[in-house]
Amino acid sequence: MDRVHLRRAGVSLLLDLRDGDARIVHWGADLGEQIPGLAALEPSVPHSASDEPAAVSLLPQAARGWRGTPGTAGDRGSRDYSLRLVLQDAVADDARAELTLVDANAGIQVRATLALEPSGLLLVDQELTNTGETAYRVGALDVTLPLPSQATEALDLTGRWSREKHPQRKGIDQGTWTRTGRHGRTGHDSTLVIAAGTPGFGWRSGEVWAVHLGWSGDHTSRVERAGDGQKVLAVGELLHSGELVLEPGESYRAPRAFAAYSGSGLDGVSERFHEWVRARAGHPSTPRPVMLNTWEAVYFDHDLEVLRQLADAAADLGVERFVLDDGWFLGRRSDNAGLGDWFVDPDVWPQGLTPLIETVNSRGMQFGLWVEPEMINEDSELARTHPDWISGPGDRVPLRWRHQQVLDLVNPDAWQYIYDRLDALLTEYPIAYLKWDQNRDQPELGHDGRSSTHDQTLAAYRLFDALRAAHPDVEIESCSSGGGRVDLGILERTDRVWASDTNDALERQTIQRWTGLVLPPEIVGAHVGPATSHTTGRTHALSFRAITALFGHFGVEWDVRGLSDAEREELRRVIAFYKANRELIHTGRSVRVDRPDDTDSAYGVVAPDGSRALFAYVTLATSPDEAPGKLRVPGLDPDALYRVSLALPLDRHGFAGRALPSWLDDGQVTMSGRALEAIGLAMPLLRPERAILLEVAAQ
């Protein structure tokens, strides 16, 4: 076998297996059945270079002429520092290849599996085994994929607490652009994908290549252009010095990489990810219940009667799940103390949580509870009893972060203690949902004097897995001071993520848009917060906050006891609208509209059969133009006729100008899908930070 051609859903991956190497000569658009001869794809040999042409291998190596970042790193002290991996075996069909590469002299074997899923998403798994006679220290085992010459722009995401998932672009110049996450968790500034594309690629245009790493610990992502012009995308776990040492016969399985090619912009990348995520075993299949979380309603001030009133008000609005947030456990009156003491505080809850749960359940709602199992306060009974259970370098306690430390889950006794406490809570109480938080970066994780970021991540995964096995009906949200742990590794064992700790709808517009590049809306929590945001101090209309939250797993985080009659009626009607349309939102195809400037935004979701759609038009700032440009509505059946009508807001206080477009005065308009995409609709002049929601239905 001298080549492997994987082909599925408009994507091809072509491997050249000659000369004992595994060179990726194409990853991108479908090549069809007649692939070119491999000789036509061999690069030339320039002056002052190795005598054999260098091409990007699955595992790029200096021994094969690659002068960029190698795909593997490791050593046995001063020996076996540079591998020459030779293909030993290859088994492949049209959609999957399993390759075994060995360096017999160095005593290293790597097994690599490349699989094209029905969505066209490429999954890459690699495992390195020490076949030698002495210990081998692993430094890296990255997934490296080639880019063609037409990929000239790079895109990644960055952010901070309450401002996650913001894009940044740059040209792909000679050299290496590396993004690292050294947070002990995925990180607020992590890049959800590292991507490259043709000049000016957008949501609906251009070729795009993107890679995501399914890992919740430290990691690295890079785009690299070598001196000979070859370009790559690469991702992998970031391993610390001495962290991963393989004894003879032991193996290291690298985190899975997910790679998407699209010939139709970022929406094509998103479609491949969404289709794969939704097809997973265990993906939430029941309608996503309307949530109320108590955090911004009461914070740490837990009072049974107040919470009962809040539950009554929530049930009256149509809420289906009531989540009690931080403050219920032993000594937890602020974030200074209590983490680790996972016992219901008898001073606050003399009868336990049962009276509140009975109230919640009697109102037809599920009960959920906040926990933060991976953390510990030094002011806690657990820390006073087991100060040695605090993770760190061993000779000192790491810097505090939000008054807390990290519990060393690599310690089997600490792991078992936390498992037993959570298992006891889930056994004693009818808890349907855990909001699982993790509120700090962990830059100095250590166990027994050694760096333990890798082992801590795996220990946390085992904790999730064990609790899910013991309590399979309990749903779990991954919250990490908001969006600090959003990746497909954590989503193997959780049911949704909390995209950000901010409920400010303006901030959420960008956060949710780019989180949705990989994650479909049904697993991204999105809540209606108070009129004035607790994180930014901005004040927004209820319609703007509600329309923003509709394109996710909808919820409320607000003291709804004090709503005005008008607010109560509007929120009740929005909740009813969400329930009537959540199947469309949570199964449809996400569509983003490329707009001429950044003062407004538009996006929507289209039913799989093209029969219905919802589109939001949002003003983010004042526009330099007196009137907005027409809204082009893509993604519909071009030959079908559609009725477009205004679904929300319920009032028109956000409208500006002296007159509305005539079709809005008429209440609706009918146009073909082709005309809606090619010409679009006139939009009303809106005040800044306002939104309208359009309902589109085939006739």
Q: pLDDT, tens digit, for every residue of 384-408?
A: 999 999 999 988 999 999 999 999 9
Per residue, the 3-state secondary structure of 384-424, as one string, reads: HHCHHHECCCCCCCCCCECCEEEECCCCHHHHHHHHHHHHH
- Give me the CATH topology for the region 3-279: Beta-galactosidase; Chain A, domain 5 (2.70.98)
Question: pLDDT tens digit string along 76-104?
Answer: 998 999 999 999 999 999 999 999 999 99
On the question of pLDDT at 665 being above 90, the answer is no
Q: Assess whether 501 carries a catalytic annotation.
A: yes
Cis peptide leading into 649, omega within 30 of 0? yes
Range with lowest mean pLDDT among 228-232, 573-577, 651-655: 651-655
The answer to whether the beta carbons of residues 484 and 500 sit under 8 Å apart is no
What percentage of residues in the chain have a pLDDT greater than 90? 93
Q: What is the pLDDT of residue 55?
A: 75
Q: State the DSSP string of 197-264.
A: ESTT--SSSS-EEEEEE--SSSEEEEEEE-TTS-EEEEEEE-PPTTS-EEPTT-EEEPPPEEEEEESS
Q: Are 493 and 470 in contact (CB under 8 A)?
A: no
**Residue 48 pLDDT:** 82
Fold type of domain 591-698: Immunoglobulin-like (2.60.40)
CA atoms of 341 and 329, how far apart (whole Å): 7
Which residue ranges does the chain devote to CATH 2.70.98.60? Answer: 3-279
User: Do 528 and 571 touch, CB atoms closer than 8 A?
Assistant: yes
Q: The tokens of 645 are what?
A: 């009508």
For residues 237-242, average pLDDT = 95
Cα–Cα distance for residue pair 243/245, rounded to 1 Å: 7
35 pLDDT band, cuts 50/70/90, is: confident
Greatest alpha-carbon pair distance for the chain in Å reads 82
pTM: 0.97
| Strands annotated E in 374-520 | 375-376, 405-406, 433-436, 446-447, 450-451, 475-478, 496-498
For the segment 177-205, what is each residue's pLDDT rounded down to a tens digit? 999 999 999 999 999 999 999 999 999 99
Query: Which one from 437, 455, 487, 495 is the annotated catalytic residue?
Result: 437
pLDDT of res. 44: 79
> What's the pLDDT at 53?
74
Q: How confident is the model at residue 54 (pLDDT cuts 50, 70, 90)?
A: confident
Q: Compute CA distances 185 → 228, 238, 406, 441, 502, whole Å.
A: 36, 11, 12, 7, 19
d(CA 687, CA 601): 13
For 91, residues 6+ apart whose C-beta sits below 8 A from its C-beta are 97, 98
The residue ranking higher by pLDDT, 34 or 5, is 5
* The token pair that represents 136 in the structure block: 């081998």
Q: Are strands 321-324 and 72-75 parallel, antiparallel or unpaired?
A: unpaired
Q: What is the model's pLDDT at position 345?
A: 98
71: its two tokens? 């795909």
Identify the pLDDT of residue 12.
97
The question of whether 437 is a catalytic residue gets the answer yes
Active-site entry in 189, 501, 504, 600: 501
pLDDT over threshold 90, residue 678: yes
**pLDDT for position 647:** 97
Contact of 135 with 247, CB cutoff 8 Å:
yes
Identify the DSSP state of 521. G
How many angstroms separate the CA atoms of 208 and 203, rounded? 10
Which of 420, 408, 495 lies closest to 460 in space, CA to CA? Answer: 408
Task: Determine contact, residues 403/335, Cβ cutoff 8 Å.
Answer: yes
Rounded CA-CA distance 20/16 in Å is 9
Mean pLDDT in residue range 364-383: 98
Percent share of the chain, pLDDT over 70: 100
pLDDT of residue 551: 98
Contact 553, 526 (CB under 8 A): yes
At a CB cut-off of 8 Å and minimum separation 6, what does 593 contact?
A: 203, 204, 601, 602, 603, 604, 615, 631, 632, 633, 634
Mean per-residue pLDDT over the chain, rounded: 96
CATH 2.60.40.1180 domain span(s) along the chain: 591-698
As beta bridge partners, residue 605 has: 590, 614
3-state helix, strand and coil shares in percent for the chain, rounded to the nearest 5? 20, 30, 45
Measured distance CA(120)–CA(269) in Å, rounded: 9
Edge-first strand order for the sheet with 589-592 is 589-592, 600-606, 612-619, 690-698, 641-648, 668-672
Q: What is the pLDDT of residues 481-515, one digit of tens each?
A: 999 999 999 999 999 999 999 999 999 999 999 99
Instruction: Please name the helix (run of DSSP H) or strand (run of DSSP E) that holds residue 128, with its range, or none.
Output: strand 122-130
**Could you give the CA distance from residue 634 to residue 69 in angstroms, rounded to a whole number?**
40
Q: What angle do CA 211, 215, 216 make, to 5 degrees?
A: 130
